[in-house]
Amino acid sequence: MSNPTHLQYTAEHEWIAVDGENAKVGVTAYAADALGDVVYVDLPEVGATITAGESCGELESTKSVSDLYAPVTGEIVEVNAAVDADPSLINSDPFGEGWLFVVKVTETGELLDAAGYQALLED
């Protein structure tokens, strides 16, 4: 699966779509595939502050539990209730309905463009 070029990415396999001061965050198709069937998500709560590069939640699959890393610093303004109710959306539509949360960005972390992320996957 190709990575959408309008998104930015982290080395930890999260994607981010910036819209003004807010950014929607999810995990990439590569991460969803590597995790296997996601069965549980532990997302940050609305109002929580997250810090770029630090763990801000967990994704549990039939294979393992993986940390979710914040791609930016800021305050959580929305959490995807649909993913909380049906974590399999992360596997079926990681770049669409499987988004995780929206954060009001105060500082960005180290982000890659689609080509840079693809190069990381090929290393």
- Half-sphere exposure for 47 (CA within 13 Å, toward CB): 0
- The DSSP letter of residue 81 is H
- For 57-113, what is each residue's pLDDT tens digit? 999 999 899 999 999 999 999 999 999 999 999 999 999 999 999 999 999 888 999
Domains of the chain: 8-112 (2.40.50.100)
Q: Is the pLDDT of residue 1 over 70?
A: no
Backbone angles phi, psi at 60, to 5 degrees: -110, 130
Which single residue is written with the structure tokens 């999260």?
14
List C-alpha distances in Å: 39 to 17, 64, 114: 24, 10, 27
pLDDT digits (tens, 9 = 90+) for 97-116: 999 999 999 998 889 999 99
pLDDT tens track for 44-56:
999 999 999 999 9
